[in-house]
Structure formats: structure tokens, C-alpha cells
Structure 1
Amino acid sequence: MADLTPELVPMFPGAGPFLARFLPYSPPTHAGLNQQFCDLHAFLKYLHEAAWYGYLHASLGDQNAYVLLFEGRTVTAAAASATGEQALGELLNLYEQGAALSAHPLPPVLAHVLSGIGNRAWKFNLTEDFTGLHARPTGAIFYARGEIVATLPATLPYEGAFPAPLRPQTLILPRSLAGWAHHQYTLTLRGRDSMNAITSVYQQFRTQYGLTGIAFLRALGETLTPAEYAMRSDVALHDLEPLVQEFIKTGCVRES
């Protein structure tokens, strides 16, 4: 019986960054986006709300950056000399400088397999529930829960594995690009009243921001930064920025 395991085609054959090297070919749903007519933060918000799976590629001259999305969340990224948050920042920087951006959809299972690719490979240990990429000098194997789901003719010079997390974590923008998200904020008297159900301020606050706003304000009061809260509660960071600005403007919090 013929082997029915799909063999994928590399999108960026010979690419340096590990993530780019193992991204499979996928025709873009969006291509040629640039900052003159497309706000990248609005586009990321759109992908988040659509729970989109796939990858973004930004290209400017010979500079490239790649970001993988899982459930509409940015979960891993790579650029020439950076991975993770720094590479996500690199993609945003390139976009601001005029890079063209494309978005390539992937089946959820492939996005999950790729979500563990960072800046190093680990010793391969196939367990019955292994999800991730097994890279070898002869090609790569995509595993989901111990089963081979695809192969890809892209290689490493040595054998290694990129295990995928059970639930991929959201990347948070680095401090250099989103300093506000890494600050701590102190509740004012008005902010504390906004969480006290017997006050009129609470009723106004709840009407305007809902229980999610109250939960975020409470977290700030417990000295969590917006970045920490976004990771713990699986909220998109770009949804929190206008709330922080509003909380400061209305006198509910101030920067510590």
C-alpha cells in the first residue's frame, strides 16, 4: 500500500532561521500588504478575532522576518539574528520601514507542530504523545501526538527535535516596542472605588468596561504588568493598550 503521509514543499528553501526553513508552502490569503494602506496592529487584531492559523512573512530588500500564528495568536517568530519576541519586533520594524507582508494559512495541526521551533534543537525522544518537528540531515518529520502527519524535504546538518508546547504561549512585544506593557501601574482611590461593588463609580466602570475591564484593573492592582496579564489570561496585548490609556486618562491608575 502506498504511503499516504503528505510530503510538504518548503516555502523558503535554504533559509537560515530554523522557523523559516521548516515552513511549508502555502499560497497567501493576503499578499503585498504594506503600512501605506494596512495598519499592522489592526490586521493582527483581525487575525486574532478570526482565530487564524498560519504564518506571516515580511520582506524588505534582503531582510526577512517570519511569525507563526496559532488560534490567531503570535506564538513563535524568527529573523536573521533573532527569535521569539525580538523577531516579532523585527517584523514590526521592517513593516514600519516599508516591508511587504504576506499571510499564509496552515492547517491547525501543522501550526501546532511548528510552534515549538525556536533558536535551538533538542535531543529527539519519540514518545507516544510527542507533538513537534523531528529534523534530520535527510529531511523533517511532523509529529502530532506520536503520529507522523507530514514530511518536508528541509534539513539540519544534525539530528534534533523541536517539541511543541501543549498550548503555545503568546509572544509579547519586547520592551523597546511596547514599554507601556512592561510597566507596573498603581491604582488611585478612584481605581480602588471602581472595583468596590457598593460605589457608584463601580457601576459606571462596569457599564463602560464590563467584567473583563474589572478583571484587568484588579490585576494591575495586584502589580501584574499588562504583558504578564496578557499571558496569564490569554488576552491580546493590543486589546489592552487602549484600556491602559483610558484608565490613566480617567484617573483610575498611574504609572508606578
Structure 2
Amino acid sequence: MTGARGTLGPLSGGAWVRLLSQAGLSGTLLLSKGERATLFVLGEGRVQGWDVGAPYGLGEVGGRFAFWPHAERPQPSLEPRYPKAAGPLRALPALLEEALLSTAELNVRALFARLAKEAFSGALVFERPHASGVVVVSRGRPAAAALEARAGLLYGPAALRPLLEGEAAALSLYPLPEPLCSSFLALVLAFEAGGAGGAPPEAATGTLVGETGYAFMRGGEVYLELLTPPALESGFVPACEAPPSLPLPNDPTGWEGRRYALTLRGRDALDPMTELSMRFRSEFGRTGQRALEGFRRAAAAEAVAEALGLEAGAFRTLLERLEAEGFIRRLEVR
């Protein structure tokens, strides 16, 4: 059995734990709902839990789960999601994963605006044929970035601009509960600084880097192991309790002259016979529908705004939302 993710629906967390145990499965289980998350290790009739942030109540329904089968181990354990990475991506504790539209069909700046509104904490991963990178977001704000390319590893602002403005990239979002997000953020900053510290102090919260991988600790106790040869020297990295702020590169000017066209999803949204069309009209109204109609044939943003009689600020908000949700795509100037 390979790993699995999903929602519990009407099933409680406790019922799901019992089902896995009765099936004789061993492995690591994550149960989460909102900001609450608990990791369990199952094996030979044993079930033990470690809270990651606020505890998840086993009597709750409607949560999410992720399960990774493995031989019995003393703590919850994961294999790396990006085992070939040479930098911080290999240290990412990938629990819950959400695949997004690629940057060819999604406005990344609008995505960051959404993450800020949701006070999201976790990692946004960019994957290209010859480069990949990660932006760590803490409570809705970008805090660190790393880019791995043929030329080597880049960090901070030097990594952020190529990630946002380079060629099309696949995007994945990894929500991380506290303190796991602050621990991974600290790891990225440690990579940038060139190494980890010494031995962990008593009741430490952070990450112990050793020969077998990364051991995430809270109050001196290991609650999750990421089993992979580490790409960082051995030592302890305390969790980052005061996340830095990494501003997005200055927004390029001249957006009014950019040309856009409908995506397949945008064309479906204009087809009155589709369910998507009904949802679109409900969420975007007549103005949104008229905007899509304006992009039936590739058109400049300014021309569509003038046709709708909208001032620039109001139309730009609509434009970024349409792009972020994959209804239109920006055309490259050749």
C-alpha cells in the first residue's frame, strides 16, 4: 500500500485510527482540521500520538488525513518528497499537498495575496525542468526563499525573483502547522547561513540534523523524523520564532497593456450548458462574465477595462482574480 491523503467526511479521527489498526497496518498518520494537527505512529496494536500545534480531537469529524505505511518505528516518520534535491527542498516535511495551476495559467502575485488573506503557513514549491525552488510563507507573509538550479543554490531576494518571473513552473502548496512551519523556515535560513548549530538545549523546539536525516523536536521530544541523507552539516537548528519578511519584487509597470486570452477553463465558464458556467456567474456576476467575453479574442487589459467602464484599480483586482483561478492566461510578447 502506498501513501494516501484525503478527507474523513463523516468519519471521526478515532474511527479512522481503529480501522487502520484493525487492518494490521503500521505507519505514520496525520489527522488535521484547521490549525489543529496530530501525528500518530501505528504498529502491532500500538497507537501513539504527538500534537503538532493545537491538538486534533479524535472525536471530530470532517478533518483531513494523510497516511504513510512503513515498518514499525518509535516516532512518526516520512520519506522525502523531493529526494533528489540538493538544498532545502529535500528537508521539506511534506504532509498535506495541494497541486495548483502552473504559473502559465496562474497569477503568482495574486496567489500570494490569497495566501496573505488566509494567513497561510507552509511552503510553496516551484518545479521547472532545470530548476526548482521553495518559498516559505509564515502567517501569510513570505519569509524565505531558495532556488536550486544548474548554477547552484540561491536564497532570499536573489531566489525569489527568478521563481516568480522565470519560465512556466508547476506549483504545489504544502500547509505546515506550527511549530513545523517555523522549524522548516529555520532550516531554509540555516542553509542560507551555511550550517546548523551545536547540540540542542533542554526542552528544545526545532530540528536536529543527523546522519539519518532531520528530527523535528518540540519541547525536547522528537515528533517527526524525515529519513534522508541530510544536505546540511549535523547540528541543531532552533525554530524561527520571529519570522523575517521577504518582500515580493517590485510589481512591474505597464500591466494595462498586457494581452490575455481565455484558457480552456475560461471557455467552459462561458458555456451556459456547463456547471462551471453557473458557478462562475454566481461568484463573478455579470461584470466577470463580460470581462471573459472581452478576452474571447486576445485583448489588452486596458481595452477590456474601457469596454466595461471600470476604473483601473477595480478592473485590476478582477483581472488578477480571473488569472489566479485559471480563466485567462497572459500572452507573451514576441
What band does the TM-score fall into relative to the shorter chain? 0.5 to 0.7
State percent identity of aligned pairs: 26
Q: Deviations over 1:181-209 (max 9, x none)?
A: xxxxxxxxxxxxxxxxxxxxxxxxxxxxx
Change (3 A) 1:130 1:171: farther
Q: Deviations over 1:80-123 (max 9, x none)?
A: 221122222221123xx222212122222211111112222223
Q: Is the 8 A contact 1:121 1:161 kept in 2?
A: no
CA RMSD of aligned residues (A): 2.5
Match of 1:108, SS state, is coil
Match of 1:33, SS state, is coil
Q: Which structure's residues are more often helix, by fraction?
A: 1
Partner residue in 2 for 1:233: none
Partner residue in 1 for 2:112: 44
Change (3 A) 1:109 1:45: same
Q: Is the 8 A contact 2:91 2:230 kept in 1?
A: no
Question: Aligned partners of 1:156, 1:27: CA distance in 2, in Å?
Answer: 22
The alpha-carbon deviation at position 21 of structure 1 amounts to 1.2
Tell me the matched-pair count.
Answer: 174
The alpha-carbon deviation at position 31 of structure 1 amounts to 2.3
Q: Which amino acid aligns with 1:124?
A: G
Equivalence map 1:155-170=2 (5 Å)? 155-156=229-230, 158-170=233-245
Residue 116 in structure 1 maps to residue 190 in structure 2: no
Q: Is the 8 A contact 1:135 1:155 kept in 2?
A: no
Change (3 A) 1:28 1:155: same
Q: Select which of 83, 89, 94 maps to 1:25.
A: 94
Question: Aligned partners of 1:132, 1:161: CA distance in 2, in Å?
Answer: 7
Residue 150 in structure 1 maps to residue 220 in structure 2: no
Unaligned runs of 5+ in 2: 1-45, 49-72, 253-316, 318-334
Unaligned runs of 5+ in 1: 181-241, 243-256
The alpha-carbon deviation at position 69 of structure 1 amounts to 1.4
The alpha-carbon deviation at position 27 of structure 1 amounts to 4.4
Q: Which amino acid aligns with 2:95?
A: S
Q: Is the 8 A contact 2:199 2:235 kept in 1?
A: no
Q: Select which of 93, 100, 103 maps to 1:34.
A: 103
Question: Aligned partners of 1:15, 1:8: CA distance in 2, in Å?
Answer: 16
Question: Aligned partners of 2:146, 2:100: CA distance in 1, in Å?
Answer: 19
Question: Aligned partners of 2:169, 2:184: CA distance in 1, in Å?
Answer: 24
Equivalence map 1:231-246=2 (5 Å)? none
Q: Taking structure 2 as the reference length, what is the TM-score of the superposition?
A: 0.47
Change (3 A) 1:7 1:27: same
Partner residue in 1 for 2:291: none
Kindly indicate whether structure 1 or structure 2 has the higher relative contact order, using CA contacts under 8 Å at least 6 residues apart. Answer: 1
Q: Is the 8 A contact 1:124 1:134 kept in 2?
A: no
Residue 178 in structure 1 maps to residue 247 in structure 2: no
Q: Select which of 175, 178, 189 maps to 1:105.
A: 175
Match of 2:165, SS state, is helix
Partner residue in 1 for 2:264: none
Question: Aligned partners of 1:65, 1:54: CA distance in 2, in Å?
Answer: 14
Partner residue in 2 for 1:91: 163
Q: Is the 8 A contact 2:179 2:239 kept in 1?
A: no
Q: Which structure's residues are more often strand, by fraction?
A: 2
Partner residue in 1 for 2:122: 54
Equivalence map 1:217-232=2 (5 Å)? none
Q: Which amino acid aligns with 1:63?
A: A
Larger Rg computed on CA atoms: 2
Question: Aligned partners of 2:121, 2:78: CA distance in 1, in Å?
Answer: 17
